[in-house]
Structure 1
Amino acid sequence: MKLNIKIKSIYTLDEIPNYWTNQDYVALLAAFGFADGNTIKPENLTEMLFMAIADYEPNEAAQIVLTYKLSNDLNEGQIDQLSNEMLLDKVCEEYPEIHLHKHLFSINQLLYKAFNGKFPNAKASSIQFSVLGNDSNELSKSDILKAFNSGLNESNIIKRLFGEPMTTGAKFPEAESLIWELNTKEDSTFQLITSEYLIDRESFINMEFDGEILNEEE
């Protein structure tokens, strides 16, 4: 299937909208020793959480947030290691388990803001684009990245690491983790969120290009 892609806007985000819920903030407050979080007005939850986090050493705070969010994915040793590495490196860009990158980014940014920059400042990209040549608005994350291939420059990290699925009918399960959010807008317009490390404005050769999606092999 051949498509025409037109990039309408690319801008930088320092958080994923609505990733953290008020329920998360209340639960995290409890994890940091503040049991009455449910009595705090919603508009004050973030400020109170940052104050509670700041009472801890940065690596201790990281360990608590990592345990809250990723204890089903990581063991205690992995969490302890990450809690120290996060102070030095953008682990949300480098961790080998790419399905955790979205969560590590959001954890990193929560800690970055709570500690006024003691953690590295990671960035995400929000890309809005239109797609012509598609009969419906039902394109998967794999479809989008395959269609993007011809518009990305040769140095793009996704293109370099996943050249085969990007250019063939091979299955591309990693696309589910590489694109953090994919939303359908009106008039064949889409919006995706991913790591700025993976795709930024400089990643595109042109803002309009033709892409092709080969049917995935069974």
Structure 2
Amino acid sequence: MNYKIAIKRIDTVNEVEGYWSTEDLIQLCERFNFPDAATAEVKNLPELLEMAISDYEPNEAAAIVLDYKLGEELNEGQIEQISHNMLIDKVCEEYPEIHMQGRLYHVNQLLFKAYNGKFPNAKASIVHFSMTPTEGEVKELTAENVLKLLNNGLSDRNLIKRLFDDQMTQNIPFPNAAAIIWELNTTDNVNFNLVTSENWINNDDIIASEFEAVLEEIEEED
């Protein structure tokens, strides 16, 4: 199916609002030995958590938050290593397990804010765009569909195109797409915004704000 794509803008942000739920904030406060968080006013929870975190050494705090978000997938040794590496590098951009990068970003930025910049400042991109079929009915698009359709508007220097050229340009599955796109939001399946790392898509990657692309039926691998 043929689509007209328009990239309206890309917002570069230090944090994705609404990621941490009230329950997350309460649970984290308790892990940082602030047990009365459940009775505190919701609007005060972020500040209370920052105060609780600041009583710990940065790497200790990192280990606690990492265990909360990724403890079921990382062992104690991995958490310990990442908690130290986070003070030096943007682990959320470099970690080889792509499906963990989004959560590592949110952990990193929580700590960056709590420690006034002791952690590197990673950034996210919120891409606002539309994808309109030139004929036929509007269909629900997946993260995989969206990335393939965006290909024609991205520079050859774009990291996704460099690492996943075959998946972006050929009729084959792209399983990492759902990990690269942290959030994909739409109310009408035409106007979208997606959230991803600035490392994956940024303003410099865009070579065309309006273009066309063809979405073909993906051939499943045997």
Shorter-normalised TM range: over 0.9
**Counterpart code for 2:152:** S
Q: Aligned residues, how many?
A: 218
Within 2, Cα distance between the matches of 1:18 and 1:203?
26
Task: Give me the whole-angstrom Cα distance separating, in 2, the residues matched to 1:58 and 1:159.
Answer: 35
Alignment match, 2:148: 146
Give the TM-score, by structure 2 length: 0.95
Amino acid in the other structure paired with 2:151: N
Q: Please identify runs of 4+ aligned residues in structure 1 that moved more than 2 A.
A: none
Q: Retained in 1: the 8 A contact 2:132–2:138? A: no
Partner of 1:40: 40
- Counterpart of 1:2? 2
2: CA distance between counterparts of 1:148 and 1:2?
A: 13
CA contact (8 A) 2:138 2:189 kept: no
Show the 5 A alignment for 1:90-169. 90-133=90-133, 135-169=137-171
Distance 1:2 1:205 in 2: 20
Q: Distance in 2 between matches of 1:181 and 1:23?
A: 20
How has the CA–CA distance of structure 1 residues 187 and 98 changed in structure 2, closer, same or farther, with 3 Å as cutoff? closer
**1:203 matched residue in structure 2:** 205
- CA deviation after TM superposition for structure 1 residue 212, in Å: 2.1
Q: Does the CA contact (< 8 Å) of 1:137 and 1:184 recur in 2? A: no
Partner of 1:185: 187
List gaps (5 residues or longer) in structure 2. Answer: none
In structure 1, the residue matched to 2:75 is: 75
Matched, 1:212 2:214: yes
Q: Does the 8 A contact of 1:15 with 1:123 survive in 2?
A: yes
- Superposition deviation, residue 214 in structure 1: 2.3
Query: RMSD over aligned Cα, in angstroms?
Result: 1.1
| Contact residue 154 and residue 160 of structure 1 kept, 8 A | yes
Report whether the alignment pairs 1:170 with 2:187.
no
Structure 2 contact 153–207 (Cα < 8 Å) conserved = yes
Distance in 2 between the 1:168 and 1:187 partners?
A: 23
- SS of 1:136 mapped into structure 2: coil
Render the CA deviation track for 1:37-66: whole Å, top value 9, x for unaligned: 101100100001000000000000000000
Shift of 1:105: 0.3
SS in structure 2 of the partner of residue 126 of structure 1:
strand
Percent identical among aligned pairs is: 51
Where structure 1 has 5 or more consecutive residues not aligned to the other structure, the ranges are: none
Q: Decide whether the 8 Å contact of 1:26 with 1:45 is kept in 2.
A: yes
Quote the offset at 1:186 in angstroms.
Answer: 4.1
Query: Are 2:2 and 1:20 aligned?
Result: no
Deviation by residue 1:62-119 (Cα, 9 ceiling, x = unmatched): 0000011110110000000000000000011000000001100000000000000000
Q: Matches of 1:124 and 1:33 in 2, distance apart?
A: 30
Q: Which stretch of structure 1 is more off in the superposition, 9-18 or 170-179?
A: 9-18
SS for the counterpart of 2:208 is coil
Deviations, residues 122-170 of structure 1 (Å, cap 9, x unaligned): 1000111111216224000000000111111110000010011111111
